Amino acid sequence: MTGSRSTAAVEWLTSAAPDPDACRWAWQRDPQGIVLLPAGKLWDVLIVPGALGRPTLDVLLRLVGRPGPVLAALRVRRTGFFVPPGTASGWAGAGARGCGPGAGIVVPRPGRAAGGVRWLAPPDGSGTLTDAGLLERAMHEAAGAAAGSARAPRQAARDAGRRRRPDG
């Protein structure tokens, strides 16, 4: 991430903090550190189970090229997609959990990984977020592809078994 883009991303993220100066100071003091930022003000976050997170991001990248920010929590295998405020309260299904007002999101400084959390798609500083409808479409497409991949070896084994049966 370039310097000016990183600076813009830091400013955008810290603007959600109750005390933006304290947030900046925490990242300056410990660049490998993380801060807890509130959801619901500038964004909500939809947390997707790990097996579906990266494939969903891959679909989004194919569909839009540049989605909103996406975080990965490596230890717990979860992926967080930053979506417009209000999305979490209306979200249901697909195994995702919404984090909106009252929830805190663990966030590393843009361009850095810290505490098992890293940016898969860092914020660009402009406030770009992933459209919830597009995210849902991407999740369904990723889940469908995963289900198809899981069925293929079983179907091939069944087909092979049918060919081995003697006629008669």
pLDDT tier for residue 39 given thresholds of 50, 70 and 90: very high
Higher pLDDT, 113 or 140: 140
Give the whole-angstrom CA distance, residue 76 versus residue 62: 26
Residues in CB range of 113: below 8 A, 6 or more apart:
32, 119
Domain that holds residue 99: 3-159
DSSP state of 102: T
Tell me: pLDDT of 152 over 50.
no
Q: Is residue 168 one of the residues assigned to a domain?
A: no
pTM: 0.83
Higher pLDDT, 88 or 145: 88
At 62, give phi and psi (nearest 5°).
Answer: -70, -40
Q: Is residue 55 one of the residues assigned to a domain?
A: yes
User: Residue 9: its pLDDT value, please?
Assistant: 94
Q: For residue 133, count other CB atoms closer than 10 A to its CB.
A: 10
Average pLDDT on 85-101 reads 85
Percent above pLDDT 70 for the chain: 83
Burial of 112 (0-12, 13-18, 19+ CB in 10 A): middle
Q: Is residue 164 one of the residues assigned to a domain?
A: no
User: Residue 135: its pLDDT value, please?
Assistant: 93
Q: Is residue 77 one of the residues assigned to a domain?
A: yes
User: Residue 51: its pLDDT value, please?
Assistant: 85
Average pLDDT on 104-113 reads 88
- Largest alpha-carbon pair distance within the chain? 81
Q: Is residue 80 one of the residues assigned to a domain?
A: yes
Q: Is residue 167 one of the residues assigned to a domain?
A: no
Give the whole-angstrom CA distance, residue 27 versus residue 143: 36
Please count the structural domains in the chain.
1
Contact call for residues 39 and 87 (beta carbons, < 8 A): no
Q: Is residue 25 one of the residues assigned to a domain?
A: yes
Mean pLDDT of the chain: 85
Please state which of the ranges 28-37, 50-59, 64-73 shows the lowest mean pLDDT.
28-37
Contact call for residues 72 and 33 (beta carbons, < 8 A): no
Record the tokens describing residue 106, joined without a space.
């663990």
